[in-house]
Amino acid sequence: MSISTEKASLPDEEAAVAHNPEAPLGGAATEDKRDETATDPTEPTETGTQKDVIPDGGYGWVIVGAILASNAVTWGINTTYGVFSAYYLAYNYYQATTLDYAWVGGLSVACSLLCAPLANYLTRRFHFRLPMFMGAVCVSVGQCAAGVCKSFGPFLVCQGVIFGIGLGLTLIPAQPLLAHWFDRHLSLAQGIAACGSGLGGLILSNTTRVALEHLGVKWALIINGLISCVVLFPAICLMRGRHKAVGARSAPFQLNFLWHPGFLWVLLWSVFTMMAYFIALYSMASFATHALNFSQTQGAALQSILAAGQMVGRPIWGLALDRGGRINMTILCYILCGISTLAIWLPARSFGVLVFFAVVQGLTGGTIWSAATPVVARVVGVQDLASALSIFWLVLVIPALVGQPIAIALLDYSTTHLGRTGPESYFISIGLCGGMALFGAGLLYGAKRYLQQGWTLFRIV
């Protein structure tokens, strides 16, 4: 459905939001109204005291390519941790437990999200490229240093903390940039950029497996670190922002967003869907290799297929969000994610079924990374986007940190206390994963109700 159709379908409700005293902060309702009702991308729009025309393309597509490349060698490489952890467990590499390795994956993402206030402060005080260059150094050094670690403690610091900080300092400043360049096609642009993590995961999961088999852990990590370095610095140089033109604000720690009546539902949705995402991301390979006794090669193949699904799914959902409503289609996406987890992964006993689930999970599970910016912009507006995203990422620190360890703890409980073995030992973890995706989808309906000022199910929002 076109944007003009959205304009026709929501005039009264949008006006009510714009004049509601509980409307989005900092004039965001006005910004959001303009974002949804503008039918001509060349029509001047007001941002503060300055007129601005959002290009809806142009150099923005170069930035899409640059962010795609950046995601490929940061979050794409982070996806390969599933391959590494399966290898560590199979060969008892650091003499650590399954739960120990789960904390490494969660810690890297938690540290990345914890950097949001720092990244916003550096962006506002200096320039958005400064934290991104700092992040590029941390991503590269963290991996190379992890490669030379001989024990689990230093490995945890390098792979979990240093690499995680690098992820955050490259992610956070780049997230609002596309909203400066795109209006009607923002979700599509964000989806294409976000698919870089899938592309990187698809390629690097296979190269990592080969490197592990022929060169060992040390050189597999060092090679990935060097790849990140070579790609990140040119990509960051190509990125540009339009912060002044759009009147963007980058408050590092604006706590009043925590009780924003529409944004609160977005935060709750993100908490549950993020935990579901990491349980599936880090558990699928180990489920295949430990529960069903498939080979390490087959486990890595599943990780690659999941990454391929992300690469294809994120642009598709981006287009769907632009056409069918950002909130509506995100809800639908996670309903499909939850149902597929319970109906496909839970009873899976063959490699073919796991391949099918990896495709579906890749298409749906990680959509939060590409939908976050369009959904938050829809609720609070472009001007307050960076400030709201800072709180958004901070709230996700705990879910990202504990999601996979909780799943591992449930696995241990199922094995030691309930006496379950094989695929049945994963039942509780998989059920939790699917249930949280469905529950998160239901919570996001609160944001839909806030925007449309009613309970209508099929209105485009």
pLDDT digits (tens, 9 = 90+) for 230-277: 999 999 999 887 767 666 666 666 777 778 888 999 999 999 998 898
The number of angstroms, rounded, from the C-alpha of 407 to the middle of its chain's C-alpha atoms is 19
Q: Quick one: 199 exposed, middle or buried, by C-beta within 10 A (0-12, 13-18, 19+)?
A: buried
Closest by CA to 175, choosing from 93, 116, 108, 94, is 116
The number of distinct structural domains making up the chain is: 1
- Is 163 among the domain residues? yes
**Amino acid, res. 278:** F
- Which DSSP string corresponds to 293-349? ---HHHHHHHHHHHHHHHHHHHHHHHHHHHHH-HHHHHHHHHHHHHHHIIIIITT--
- Is 460 among the domain residues? no
**Amino acid, res. 370:** S
Q: Give the domain CATH number at 348.
A: 1.20.1250.20
The number of angstroms, rounded, from the C-alpha of 291 to the middle of its chain's C-alpha atoms is 28
Range of the domain at 325: 3-452
Q: What is the mean pLDDT of the chain?
A: 80
Closest by CA to 35, choosing from 19, 50, 14, 59, is 14
- Is 426 among the domain residues? yes
Summarised one tens digit per residue, pLDDT across range 118-157 is 888 888 888 888 999 999 999 999 999 988 888 888 999 9
This prediction has a pTM of: 0.74
- Is 433 among the domain residues? yes
Predicted confidence band of residue 333 (pLDDT cuts 50, 70, 90): very high
- Is 418 among the domain residues? yes
- Is 459 among the domain residues? no
Alpha-carbon gap, residue 461 to 459, rounded angstroms:
6
- Is 461 among the domain residues? no
Over the Cα atoms of the chain, what is R_g? 21
- In angstroms, what CA-CA distances link 289 with 117, 295, 311, 354? 39, 6, 24, 12
Block residue for tokens 């795109």:
182
- Is 458 among the domain residues? no
**Amino acid, res. 304:** S
